Amino acid sequence: MASFVVLLVLLSALMHASWNAFLHLSGDRVWLLGMFSIPYVLVSAVGVCVLPLPAHEAWPFIVASAVLEFAYCFTLVRAYRSGDFGQIYPIARGLSPLLISVGALVFAHEQLHALAAAGVMLVSVGIMSLAFRRGMRFSGESVPWALLTGLFIAVYSLVDGIGARVSGNPLSYIMWVYLLWNVPQFFVVCKLRGGFGQMFTSKGNAVRGMIAGVLALCAYCLVIEAFRFLPIATVSALRELSSIFAVVIGWLFMKEHINARRLAACVLVSFGAVLIRL
């Protein structure tokens, strides 16, 4: 079972890197967030009707997660405004495993085995090292937003890891999070972009935006399910392998270069993932 869950998390990582690539390549990233919300709203509206209500202990976590996800999306859009995909994505994703492992220890009382703890460290260091430009310099304008995005990722992952466990039904939990997050997000984007009618002026772009939303929706559902079987920090660290997928996507589709330092960082991340599995 554990190996199968790991494969699901890796699939989630590929999906996550893919929807972020859609977002980075979009000519209007705020508008894309509105399209992105449509599959979430449709699926979650059905989900909350057919699934049992989460336990009452889960509702503070549901509300907190919805607020954090909303904030995360807009800080990510701001970070992508002037940063490269192969730089900003690893910073945002790489900050979270260390923060999550500390949070899981403090709030969920999870004790990582020494090898797993070393793996979390290696994954974090490897992913963060992917974020440097030539000359080991960060882009000052986008990096603070990427770091803030990473903080939101860490906090909502911890909130969801605990909330899914106390909810009694993790799928019902995440459906309510999705609904409370994406309904206001869609209407905020509509307001910013001149109304509902302006959202669908290009059918092709609208379809691409909704495909990105489907990828994101499926990716996090897999993670929520994985939280039932593996420690929060382990799931989150494995999911950060999405940064390797992001480097490959950047190379294939955005003509970004993969140099020796980036390859070394990818090896470091992969070795860390092996330690986590051991």
- Give me the pLDDT at residue 127, please: 75
Q: pLDDT at position 132, please?
A: 66
pLDDT on residue 39: 93
Residue 146 vs residues 76, 129, 134, 254: alpha-carbon distances, Å: 7, 14, 18, 19
The DSSP line for 196-225 is GGGGGS-HHHHHHHHHHHHHHHHHHHHHHH
pTM recorded for the entire structure: 0.81
CA 64 vs CA 53, 69, 146: distances in Å: 17, 9, 21
Whole-number Å distance between alpha carbons of 218 and 241: 17
Chain centroid to CA 117: 21
Rounded Cα distance between 81 and 144, Å, is: 12
> Position of tokens 């994505």?
89
pLDDT tens for the chain, 278 residues: list them: 678 888 889 999 999 999 999 888 888 888 889 998 999 999 999 999 999 999 999 999 999 999 999 999 999 999 988 777 877 888 788 777 777 777 777 777 777 778 878 888 888 787 777 666 655 555 567 778 988 998 998 899 889 888 988 999 988 998 999 999 999 999 999 988 888 777 777 777 788 888 889 998 888 788 878 888 888 777 877 887 888 888 888 888 887 777 777 778 777 877 777 677 66
Give dist(CA 99, CA 159) in Å, integer.
Answer: 12
SS3 label, residue 136: coil
**What was the pLDDT predicted at 137?**
58
pLDDT at 207: 83
Contact 79, 145 (CB under 8 A): yes
| Residue-level pLDDT at 60 | 96
What are residue 147's phi and psi, to 5 degrees? Answer: -65, -40
**What is the reported pLDDT for 12?**
92
Q: Please give the structure tokens belonging to residue 227.
A: 């939280």
For residue 44, the model assigns a pLDDT of 94
User: Using an 8 Å Cβ cutoff, are 261 and 140 in contact?
Assistant: no
pLDDT at 48: 95
Distance between CA atoms of 157 and 190, rounded to whole angstroms? 28
Enumerate residues 6+ apart whose C-beta is below 8 A from 52: 168, 169, 172
CA distance 158 to 190: 30
